[in-house]
Amino acid sequence: MKLIVGLGNPDDKYKNTFHNLGFMSVDKAAEKLGVSFNKEKCRAAVAELKVGAEKVIIAKPLTYMNNSGESVRELISFFKINPADVLVIYDDYDLFKGAVRIRESGSAGTHNGMRSILEHLGHGNFPRVRIGFKPTEKTQIPLIDYVLSGIKEEDKLTFNKAIETAANAACDFIKGETLQNVMQKYNTKA
């Protein structure tokens, strides 16, 4: 069984913000796979599908970003999923806008949602897809405000490409490609 988690905030006011790049990516993956988020389990909007004999859960935690770990821990526990079969997709200010980085494991960096997941799981030993949104130009906006700001019209193409890349990586992971292959195929530079 596999679990794909996109991080974000559930309210409409956050819909097109940097902090919802994870939600946007799993929405795109679900669309590609022909499934919809029509259930709620473990405090997450959930889409379910089968790939061969394997069940796949795609989830968007509804606990808000800073408490994402609560929902992720519940999903892993409820479905008895091995951490190596969990893929978390999220925004990352440590990467320049549009960059996509896939890793086998790691720390939370500056991301509060990932920090919550690491605290609730007690480790960072699970794959993740990071989508960069650090501006190439200087900004005076504090990070806490910047992550919740809207994606500018002139940057939409860049982020749509990054979302597409993240969704394709998730789909390949779901279909059984090794993480090494997924990394080689989809890791990008902005």
Residues 6 or more apart in contact with residue 150 via CB below 8 angstroms: 16, 17
- Around Cβ 110, how many Cβ atoms within 10 Å? 13
Amino acid letter, 77: S
- What own/partner pairs with CB < 8 Å and gap ≥ 24 does 141-149 have? 143/93, 143/110, 146/18, 146/93, 147/17, 147/18, 147/19, 147/91, 147/93, 148/14, 148/17, 148/18, 148/19, 149/17, 149/18
Q: Report d(CA 2, CA 23) in Å as an integer.
A: 17
Give the pair of three-digit tokens for residue 55.
């069940």
> Which three-class secondary structure state does DSSP give residue 187?
coil
Q: Is 111 a catalytic residue?
A: no
The 10 Å Cβ neighbour count of residue 7 is 30
Q: Single out the catalytic residue among 19, 111, 120, 123.
A: 19
Indicate which residues carry an active-site annotation. 19
